[in-house]
Amino acid sequence: MNVIDTFRLNGKTALMTGGAGLYGQQIARALAMAGAKTFMASRNLEKLDKQAQIFRDEGLDVTAYQLDQSDEKQILKLRDRLNEETGGVDILINNAVIRCMSSWEDDADNLRKSLDVNITGVFLMTRVFGDQMAARGGGSIINIGSIYGMVSQDYSLYEGTDMHGDIPDYWMHKGSMVQFTRFAAAKLGPHGVRVNTVSPGGLFNNQNPIFVKRYNARTFLGRMANQTDLMGTIVFLASDASAYVTGVNIPVDAGFTAK
């Protein structure tokens, strides 16, 4: 077999939570460009469907569905719908995230709201679709983490700007995702299902120039991520090219966490 063929996703069905954000857009585009029939699911169907139409206008097979991943009944309903339409999901991307806290002093209820989606929801998605993959004999689950699930906050990056990184629930959830990946990989591995995490670095989105300069200096490559930097890693982990890779966390961060 030609090694390039192992990267192709033709005949595969991929489901990604979220998809309207900057990283979600390139993940969905990468999956569809590699040949997967791609579905995006989130609570804001109107916004997601607009993005899916952009992909379809590019000739890509992308469909949007509504989903509140904190609700197990909705997850099961989506699973059954995709089973009916495609025969089952081969690739799951846990990408959706909400940030309910805005500071260290924020109300605890906001932490609980984010826990429902970012922790409970990720577990439910992984269990429901992971069990289905296991019953079918294989699949790939990719959790989208963050460099801020790997390193501590650096408040000096934000000094003198209108930005701040005081979002404690985000740090907690992205860090726990790495450990949950190891657990799920051990649980589902005997059934041929691989589970990995990708931890992206900061993506350039016209942030304050002071922040961008400081952030760039923290990386080996001297820049923030762009609109395509995550695509190759996603296709690698989703495809048979990574058939012997599971339980790992891959930073895609220009060396930010290694410096």
pLDDT digits (tens, 9 = 90+) for 189-240: 999 999 999 999 999 999 999 999 999 999 999 999 999 999 999 999 999 9
Nearest-angstrom CA–CA distance, 18 and 39: 10
Report the pLDDT value the prediction gives residue 139, as an integer from 0 to 100: 98
The secondary structure of 129-186 as a DSSP string is HHHHHHHHT-EEEEEE--GGGTS---GGGTTTSS-----HHHHHHHHHHHHHHHHHHH
In 10 A of CB 165, how many CB atoms?
14
CA-based nearest residue to 230, from 41, 92, 30: 30
* Partner residues linked to 18 by β-bridges: 41
Report the pLDDT value the prediction gives residue 9, as an integer from 0 to 100: 98
Nearest-angstrom CA–CA distance, 141 and 139: 7
What are the CA-CA distances from residue 106 to residues 60, 99, 167 (Å)?
41, 12, 9
* Axis crossing angle, helix 22-33 with helix 231-238, rounded to the nearest 10: 50
Residues of the chain with pLDDT under 50: none
Q: In terms of residue numbers, what domain contains 129?
A: 3-258
CA-based nearest residue to 198, from 61, 48, 26, 13: 26
Number of compact structural domains in the chain: 1
Report the pLDDT value the prediction gives residue 28, as an integer from 0 to 100: 96
Report the pLDDT value the prediction gives residue 207, as an integer from 0 to 100: 95
CA-based nearest residue to 56, from 23, 18, 19, 29: 29
Q: What is the token pair recorded at 19?
A: 């998809």
The secondary structure of 208-243 as a DSSP string is -HHHHHHHHHTSSSSS-B-SSTTHHHHHHHHSGGGT
* Partner residues linked to 91 by β-bridges: 14, 140
Q: What is the CATH number of the domain that holds 205?
A: 3.40.50.720
* Catalytic residue set: 170
Query: Structure pTM?
Result: 0.95
Report the pLDDT value the prediction gives residue 101, as an integer from 0 to 100: 67
How many CA atoms lie within 13 Å of 68's alpha carbon, on the beta-carbon side? 6
Nearest-angstrom CA–CA distance, 120 and 38: 24
What would you report as the CA-atom Rg of the chain, rounded to the nearest whole angstrom?
18
CA-based nearest residue to 214, from 168, 136, 158, 145: 158
Report the pLDDT value the prediction gives residue 105, as an integer from 0 to 100: 80
